[in-house]
Amino acid sequence: MYAITIPEPGGPEALVWAEVPDPVAAQGEVLVEVTASAVNRADLLQRQGSYDPPPGASPYPGLECSGRVAALGPGVTGWAVGDEVCALLAGGGYAEKVAVPVGQLLPVPKGVSLVDAAALPEVVCTVWSNVFMVAHLRPGETLLVHGGSSGIGTMAIQLAKAVGAKVAVTAGSAEKLERCRELGADLGIDYHDQDFVTAVRDVFGGADVILDIIGAKYLARNIDALAVNGRLAVIGLQGGVKGELNLGKLLSKRAAVTATSLRGRPLEEKAAIVAAVREHVWPLFETGTVAPVVDRTFPMGQAAQAHGVVEESSHVGKVLLTV
């Protein structure tokens, strides 16, 4: 088969479509013939040599995919060859085939195309596990999403609105903020010339939950923006890894800070998240309440161009790669 390899870390040109050995479905795994994958910022970091796959994972980039079941490994039940599926991966989505632990497999939701389904597993599992399973966003509460026009952001807006929450977002242009409002955001904040702390306080009195992709650069201001009993969920470090935390403010607000990643979690934890997503989120796709947001699609051989789009942040939603 062919897959995108990274012979040497570097820029987008480091991605090479090359012939590699076929994967085999081991005990408890399913072999998926890939139709599409999606570009995540973790893929960019892996390409640059700063985010290695977990031990035992595929060396190829790609944290999600859609496709059809090609073979069942020993001990697998409940799936059949030919089933249309999408999957959460620890790597290997940029390939013609990938072996997937059965607990990370999902059916393609009714009403979603097989290609567009590749936009779902990573972002939905990330948002659901952090905003709902960890931070416990409730109806009537306010969610602040940094990077509202990203794949994560566009999904977080829709899921928060679906459960009856209010949503504020930050983004870098009027066009991106307008797209966020079209998805349901109640407040759009241009981070170039607006202070998100003041804006969220003025409109909502603070945020009950903040979903943050920036990290250290925003840490102190995120604490300022939290409401009493607020919860800050850090899922990205685009603004650095080390920040100063004012514990006094945290105590006075009875607030909490969590930081999680999805890729390196144990299989049983990923399976529990995937099961929760299938139970709680998949019905929202099937009723049209929530939909994938796809900016554009490239052939897998043009992965370098797709990485360039994501690096420039010129997209809204997800950028897909098709085999």
State pLDDT tens for residues 233-268: 999 999 999 999 999 999 999 999 999 999 999 999
Strand duo 97-101 + 105-107: pairing: unpaired
CATH of the domain at 6: 3.90.180.10
Residue 141 to residues 161, 228, 305: CA-CA distances in angstroms? 10, 12, 39
Q: How many C-beta atoms surround the C-beta of residue 311 within 10 A?
A: 15
What's the confidence (pLDDT) of residue 252? 97
Of 251, 187, 246, 204, the C-alpha closest to 222 is 246
Rounded mean pLDDT of 205-220?
A: 97
Tokens 């999957």: give the residue. 87
Tokens of 278: 């299938």
Q: Confidence band (pLDDT; 50, 70, 90) for 158?
A: very high
Domain that holds residue 92: 2-120+263-322
pLDDT digits (tens, 9 = 90+) for 271-312: 999 999 999 999 999 999 999 999 999 999 999 999 999 999
What's the confidence (pLDDT) of residue 54? 93
Q: Confidence band (pLDDT; 50, 70, 90) for 171?
A: very high
Q: What is the mean pLDDT of the chain?
A: 97
pLDDT digits (tens, 9 = 90+) for 92-147: 999 999 999 999 999 999 999 999 999 999 999 999 999 999 999 999 999 999 99
Check whether residue 138 and residue 112 sit in a common domain. Answer: no
Check whether residue 40 and residue 88 sit in a common domain. Answer: yes
Specify the number of domains making up the chain. 2
CATH of the domain at 199: 3.40.50.720
Q: Confidence band (pLDDT; 50, 70, 90) for 149?
A: very high
What does the DSSP 8-state code read for residue 104? G
Rounded mean pLDDT of 35-58?
A: 96
What's the confidence (pLDDT) of residue 266? 95
Of 262, 306, 284, the C-alpha closest to 123 is 262
What's the confidence (pLDDT) of residue 195? 97
Check whether residue 10 and residue 58 sit in a common domain. Answer: yes
Q: What are the φ and ψ backbone dihedral angles of 146, each rounded to 5 degrees?
A: -85, 135
Check whether residue 268 and residue 221 sit in a common domain. Answer: no
Whole-number Å distance between alpha carbons of 37 and 319: 9
Helix (H) or strand (E) holding 70: strand 64-72
Tokens of 144: 């602040």
Check whether residue 101 and residue 38 sit in a common domain. Answer: yes
Check whether residue 25 and residue 55 sit in a common domain. Answer: yes
Check whether residue 84 and residue 139 sit in a common domain. Answer: no
What does the DSSP 8-state code read for residue 37? E
Check whether residue 191 and residue 106 sit in a common domain. Answer: no
Q: Are 121 and 285 in contact (CB under 8 A)?
A: no
Check whether residue 156 and residue 251 sit in a common domain. Answer: yes
What's the confidence (pLDDT) of residue 50? 93
Check whether residue 307 and residue 205 sit in a common domain. Answer: no
What's the confidence (pLDDT) of residue 167? 98
What's the confidence (pLDDT) of residue 113? 98
Q: Confidence band (pLDDT; 50, 70, 90) for 9?
A: very high
